[in-house]
Homo-oligomer: A and B are copies of this chain.
Amino acid sequence: MTGKLYGVGVGPGDPDLITRKAWRLIESASVIAYPILEDARSFARRIANDAVRSDAKVIKIKIPMSVERGPAQAAYDKGAADIADALRAGDDVIVLCEGDPFFYGSFMYLHARLKDEFEVEIVPGVSSVTACAAAAHLPLSARNEALTIIPGPVEGSLLRARIEAAEAVAVMKVGRHLEKIKQIVEDAGLLDAAWYVEYASLPEQVVMPLSEKTGDAPYFSMILISKGKDPWL
Binding site for B on A (CB under 8 A): 7, 9, 11-12, 14-21, 23-24, 69, 72-73, 76, 100-105, 107-109, 111-112, 115, 120, 122-127, 129-131, 133-135, 137-151, 153-154, 162, 165-166, 201, 230-233
Contacts and interface: CB of A to CB of B under 8 A. Distances in A.
A108 B137 CA distance: 9
B20 A134 contact: no
A87 to B, nearest CB: 17
B151 A144 contact: yes
Contact of A124 (B24, B109, B124, B134): B134
A7 B140 CA distance: 14
Contact of A69 (B17, B72, B131, B231): B231
Residue of A102, A142, A154 most packed against chain B (CB within 10 A): A102
Nearest to A148: B148
Contacts of A231: 69
Given A102-B138, A103-B140, A142-B104, A124 B115 contact: no
B102 A130 contact: yes
Contacts of A139: 102, 105, 107-108, 111
A71 to B, nearest CB: 10
A113 to B, nearest CB: 9
Contact of A126 (B19, B150, B230): B19
Given A100-B130, A122-B135, 8 more contacts: A16-B20, A16-B24, A17-B19, A19-B126, A103-B147, A104-B143, A124-B134, A144-B151
B141 A130 contact: no
A44 to B, nearest CB: 15
A154 B144 contact: yes
A18 to B, nearest CB: 6
A126 to B, nearest CB: 5
